[in-house]
Amino acid sequence: MSRPPVYLKQNVVAEPLHNQWYAWWFLASPMTAPLFVANLHVKIMESFVANPAIHVAALKSPALRGGPYLNCGVERVGEVKALLERTLQEESLAMRYAAAMRELDALLASAEGYSLEELYPRVPDLLRGYVELTYDLRNRASARFFEPLLYRSPFHRESSQSVSLRLVHGDARPYVFSTPRLDDSREGDLQVRLPFRHEAWDTLFAMRRTPAPLEAVRDALGIAPQDGDTFATFFTPEPPRPAPRYDGDGVRVRYFGHACVLIESRHVSVLTDPVVSYDFPTDLPRFTFADLPERIDYVLLTHGHADHLMFEPLLQLRHRIGTVVVPAGGGGALVDPSLKLMLQHAGFRDVVTLSELESLPVPGGELVGLPFLGEHGDLDVRGKLAHLVRLEGKALLMAADSNALEPRLYEHVQPHVGSIDMMWLGMESEGGPLSWMYGPLLPAPLSRKMDQSRRLNGSNAARAIDIVQRLKPRQVRIYAMGREPWLGHVMVMGYHEQSPQLVESRKLLAHCREHGVDADMPYGQAESFLR
């Protein structure tokens, strides 16, 4: 006799992993993943195995929690050593790729402005046919990858992909970018080795709202018999609370935390940079997965940084998303992997690109791509875009971490934008140094002084005020600050009252209010209407 259908619990965490490390932008592209495996993961694990006490001691300092220190006790050194040995064996191609990249960089450094044709036979054999050699107008040589070919090559290792499932009862989660997910099956953690694109994930995550037989999803995911009891704890006969689609006048705007905003009219729903809390009893009000509409017509991604393009919520929402809109970057440069390619190969069927000042019609309005300056350490990253959302005669500018490095940009943009009802802007005025994110891609380390100079900064108060003065929005909302506790696993902000980011934010709020502009910095959740 078959059992009654069940729902996936709202507090089941699903962490996408690459070789047991938390998957993000640079681990999703085969152009960059080998460099992070070889130049970051292996080095962190080697350091921990050699002297775990240094890592344990370092993480007692809050200032070092976002650094390259593995976050587990010395008693787990055997497990880390086993993962290191398995990585060196199973990811041997990544190690060879990293070595070939060092050879290629040395070869390009030898170019002196003469034809590059004679260098092609000297490209490391592993990379031949995957790169084009080019000069810029100052005769500096570089390589451009044919990234679509890499997704069809041995460098794209779907066998390295898995998803870690477990129950959570609070927001506290350890920082994920310096520590692999070890085997915690005794504590209810279950790692399922299926590629991200597999349709069984849609079957599982659809069960958050639509019940299905437990046996069917268990078999689809290939859950081993010995893991059946753990897997069964992830389900409940209790349905989730209803989340009806907005059917009112004008536009409803709901803040889900960080840069995640749900913009709805009765005709269309738009979700920006999904970062969504799980649902469990808490004293901090928030919207969760349970509050999202059954159908999300458009998801807008501003850029690939790990707090904006998060595979964890995206994979869980994939079956509910109509179209994903991404910036049209991806020209084959290491620092700028294609967001469209990585999402397509992660199973998203409808991914479209927007370039600056291009528009995409939607029911009752349009989506317009706008330039996005800054926050990328002066690297030539094209895969970044602010979004102007026009719905029901209202306009919202989702500017993410834009930094007005050249304020006159907004003077040129304003005539094409027109009246803005609500502007959302990040104020991370003091971001991490360039090497914090891009270090494993660099052929040689930057000097400390240079690295500290090229920080991943958003706007400070002066630059944000300049944007407000030039675009004249009726309302201003500060977001993308990493303040919510459910961001702790990807952002280590450690804010206090005198943190530069909060000081600068308060200056912007004060300026706006002094000049009659409705301004706020929402926290946790917020809701407003444009009518």
Query: Considering the domain boundaries, does residue 246 fall inside one?
Result: no
My answer on whether 229 and 91 are in the same domain is no
CATH of residue 266's domain is: 3.60.15.10
Query: Considering the domain boundaries, does residue 15 fall inside one?
Result: no
Name the DSSP letter for residue 40: I
Burial class of residue 89, CB neighbours in 10 A (0-12, 13-18, 19+): exposed
The neighbouring-strand residues paired with 141 are 135
Per-residue model confidence (pLDDT) at position 251: 98
* 29 vs 149: CA distance, rounded Å: 11
Query: Considering the domain boundaries, does residue 1 fall inside one?
Result: no
pTM of structure: 0.96
CB atoms within 10 A of CB 415: 7
* 86 vs 192: CA distance, rounded Å: 18
Q: 184, 212, 236 — which closes off a domain?
A: 236
Per-residue model confidence as pLDDT tens digits over 112-167: 999 999 999 999 999 999 999 999 999 999 999 999 999 999 999 999 999 999 99
3-state secondary structure of 249: coil
My answer on whether 106 and 219 are in the same domain is no
Per-residue model confidence (pLDDT) at position 2: 66
Query: Considering the domain boundaries, does residue 110 fall inside one?
Result: yes
Beta pairing class for 260-264 and 251-257:
antiparallel
My answer on whether 218 and 355 are in the same domain is no
Per-residue model confidence (pLDDT) at position 1: 53
- Residues with Cβ within 8 Å of 505's Cβ and at least 6 positions away in sequence, in order, are 427, 461, 478, 481, 521
Q: Which is nearest to 307 in space by CA: 492, 451, 434, 497?
A: 492
My answer on whether 256 and 109 are in the same domain is no
- Residues with Cβ within 8 Å of 456's Cβ and at least 6 positions away in sequence, in order, are 305, 375, 376, 377, 428, 431, 432, 433, 434, 436, 437
Per-residue model confidence (pLDDT) at position 183: 82
Q: 104, 122, 151 — which closes off a domain?
A: 151
My answer on whether 355 and 474 are in the same domain is yes
Render 372-413 in DSSP notation, one character per residue: --SSSTT-----B-EEEEEETTEEEEE-TT---SSTHHHHHH
For residue 212, what are the domain limits? 159-236
My answer on whether 220 and 352 are in the same domain is no
Query: Considering the domain boundaries, does residue 8 fall inside one?
Result: no
* 391 vs 267: CA distance, rounded Å: 9
Query: Considering the domain boundaries, does residue 349 fall inside one?
Result: yes
Query: Considering the domain boundaries, does residue 463 fall inside one?
Result: yes
Low-confidence ranges of the chain (pLDDT < 50): none
Q: 133, 151, 169 — which closes off a domain?
A: 151
Q: Which is nearest to 396 in space by CA: 251, 245, 517?
A: 251
My answer on whether 104 and 186 are in the same domain is no
Tokens (6 digits) for 396: 């919202």
My answer on whether 405 and 315 are in the same domain is yes
The neighbouring-strand residues paired with 433 are 455
* Number of independent structural domains in the chain: 3
For residues 191 and 164, is the Cβ–Cβ distance under 8 A?
Answer: yes
Query: Considering the domain boundaries, does residue 452 fall inside one?
Result: yes
Q: Cα separations (Å) of 261 from 276, 398, 478? A: 10, 9, 12
**How many CA atoms, within 13 angstroms, populate the side-chain half-sphere of residue 66?**
15
My answer on whether 105 and 78 are in the same domain is yes
* 371 vs 388: CA distance, rounded Å: 10
My answer on whether 96 and 168 are in the same domain is no
My answer on whether 443 and 480 are in the same domain is yes
Per-residue model confidence as pLDDT tens digits over 158-207: 999 999 999 999 999 989 999 999 987 777 899 999 999 999 999 999 99
My answer on whether 136 and 164 are in the same domain is no
